[in-house]
Amino acid sequence: MTFRYCLGIMRTFPGPLARAGIPLTLLVTAVMFLLTTALVTAALPAAAVERPGIVGGDLLGARGVVVAKGATPLPPTTAAGWLVADLTTGDVLASKDPHGRFAPASTLKTLTAVTLIPRLKATARVTPTWADLNVDGSKVGLVQNVKYTVSELFTAMLVVSGNDAANTLATANGGIPKTVAEMNAEAAHLNALDTQAVNANGLDDPKQLTSAYDLALIARAGMQLPAFRKYVAIKSSHIRGPGRMAIPIGSHDKLLWNYPGAIGIKNGYTVKAQATFVGAATRGGHTLVVTLLRTNPRYWPEAAALLDWGFAATRAGISPIGQLVDPVMPTPSPTPNAGLHPAAVNLSASKDNGLPLLPTGVVGAGVAVIASSLLRGRRRSRRRKLRLPPL
C-alpha cells in the first residue's frame, strides 16, 4: 500500500518535483514516514492511546453513587444524575453519574444568563420580535410592541422560565445562532465539557445535553455575578404588559419557597428531560449546590434532603470525592466554530477516499520534512541562477 502511494506520487508529479529540485528518494521517505506512522497509530490498542482524565477527579467518572467512606447514608432520590458540592471550596461531596449527559430543559437558561449578563447592559431596552414571542413551552407573556429592559427580561427568564424572554435576550445579543455559539464557548471556558447548547431556552433537541457536574460549574460561575445572584433569588415580581398593565410573576423554584437558607437558582421540565433542577442554599458559613437531572417532577423534597445531608457532611468534615474545577483562562473569544463541542471532534475519522486523518504532530513532522526539502531545492535553484561564469 505504501509503495503504491509513493509510486502514484512519482508518476503524477515528476515535472514539478524535478523543477523544485526535490530528490524523489527524499519524497518517498517522507511519504512512507507519514503513512507508516498512521498505520502504526491505528493499530495501537485503545489502552495505549493517551486519554484526558475525568474533569473534577477520577472518582467522578463512576456511573453509580459515589461518596466518601464513613459518610452517613444518603437520602433516596429518583434522579438519574445528581451532585452535591460546596460552592465556596469547590469540594464535591457526593454524586451519581455526575458526567452522564442528559437533556437540561430550562436549567440551560443558567448558561444563557452566565453568557449574556456580562454582554448586555441591564438598562438597555429591547423590543421582542414575532418569532421571539411565538416560541413553544412556558412563556411570561411578552408583548411585541413593548420595549423591555434587559433586566426585566432576565427576571422573566430566570424567575418564571419564560422562553419568550430567553429568545428576546438572544435577539438583543445579535441573534440565536450567535448567542448559542457564545454559550458553547462559555461552557468550554468553564470546563463544562459535557454541555452542548442548541438554543437559548432549553427546549428539547437531541443534541442539547448537559451533566450534573456541568450544571454545578455553571451555577458556581453564575453565583459570582451579583446580577445573577439577584435574579435567581427573586420570589415575586412583575413584568409589563400592554399599556400600563403589570403582570405578576412568581418563582417556579419550590426550594426557594420552602427551604431555610435557600438562595435560588433554576428548575426545568419537559416530557423528554423530565424534571431538572439546580438549587443552592447557605448555612453555617457554607453555600452548597445540588443538581438533579431526569428526576421526579416533585423534585424539591429530594433536593432539600440532599442539601440537609450535605450540610451535615460538611460539619462532620467528610472527605471530598472530587472538585469543581476552575475556568480555563483567559476567557475565549467566540468564533464561528464556537458552536462545536469538543466532544464532537473525532480524531479517528476518515476522509471520503478512505485515508485516515493523521494526528497533528505526525502531519506536522511530515510537512516539515517536505517543506525543508522544497526550501533546499529552491535555494539550490536560485544559487544556480545567480552563478556567474568565470572571468
* Catalytic machinery residues: 106, 109, 161
The set of residues, in sequence order, having a beta carbon less than 8 Å from that of 257 and lying 6+ positions away, is 235, 251
**Does the bond joining 16 to the residue before it have cis omega, within 30 degrees of 0?**
no
d(CA 343, CA 273): 21
